[in-house]
Amino acid sequence: MISYLANPQRFLKFARIASPLFMFGAISFLCFGLWQSLIVAPADVKHGEAVRIMFVHVPAAYLSMLAYTALFVASLVSFIWRHNLADYGARAFARIGIVFTALCLVTGSIWGKTGWGTWWEWDGRMTSVLVLFFIYAAYLFLWVIIEDQKRAARLAAIFAMIGMINIPIIKFSVEWWNSLHQTATISNVGAPGLDTVYDVPLWTMIFAYTCLFGWLSIKQVATDINKARIRRAPKTEGATIKIEVV
């Protein structure tokens, strides 16, 4: 499947089919998820109405790590096979990932203020997610400051692979160090701290974010392919009109 989509022409054909499907999935899950989150799900005993921030924050945290994992895989493919399509994918994942990471940080701070009485705490989870945001920013900055695109792709891929070290740190930080965060909310449904009444809206929003990530990624890669085609297209000189005076 990967080798099939490595061809830009085949990827564009795939995008014409997959992009609307992901968009439909994102809109459908998002509408159902918002209804579940804002209307069906009750207020929490401890957090009150602020518990609804969870339905935005947790999926954003999940997507921030999913996007970086995809960035790592694309960078690995780029580093080994030096394929332009892998570079397009890596940049698309980074652009989307940094937005979800920022959303995770902002909503986490709001939720922290309501639940813990502080906007920010330098614990392992919060700090490692902030580091992830800066890794995304540095990765994208490499593509901007290095004019030689082949060299930029090489260095950016190496940087992205090294940055992957931060993902398991984010995942296991709440177990390695004392943290305000509860453990294993997503991976263990019904874990302490998450009532089963919140499972449906939470997982629906996770599916919505995942479809949104797929849709935006496909659209961004397709856009980069078309831009590259325009740059490579031969430039024709404008027609000249010669007037002779007799």
Q: What is the pLDDT of residues 133-186, one digit of tens each?
A: 999 999 999 999 999 999 999 999 999 999 999 999 988 877 777 666 666 555
Q: What is the pLDDT of residues 14-72, one digit of tens each?
A: 999 999 999 999 999 999 999 999 999 998 777 788 889 999 999 999 999 999 999 99
Predicted confidence at residue 5, as pLDDT, reads 78
Mean pLDDT of 173-202: 68
Please state the φ and ψ torsions of residue 48, each to the nearest 5 degrees.
65, -140
- Which residue did the predictor score with more confidence, 236 or 4? 4
H-type alpha helices, the chain: 2-5, 8-35, 54-81, 84-116, 124-145, 149-163, 166-176, 199-232
**Predicted local distance difference test score (pLDDT) of residue 244:** 53
pLDDT of 239 strictly over 50: no
211, pLDDT greater than 50: yes
Q: Does position 243 have pLDDT exceeding 50, yes or no?
A: yes
The residue assigned the tokens 């937005």 is 99
**What is the rounded distance in angstroms from the CA atom of residue 142 to the CA atom of residue 138?**
6
In angstroms, the CA 159 to CA 138 distance is 9
pLDDT digits (tens, 9 = 90+) for 78-131: 999 888 999 999 999 999 999 999 999 999 999 888 877 888 888 888 999 999
Mean model confidence pLDDT for the chain: 88
Taking a C-beta distance cutoff of 8 angstroms, is the pair 107, 53 a contact? yes
Cα(first)–Cα(last) distance of the chain, in Å? 67
Q: What is the pLDDT of residue 31?
A: 97
How wide is the angle at C-alpha 18 spanned by C-alphas 15 and 19, nearest 5°?
A: 70
pLDDT of residue 48: 82
Confidence category of residue 7, pLDDT binned at 50, 70, 90: confident
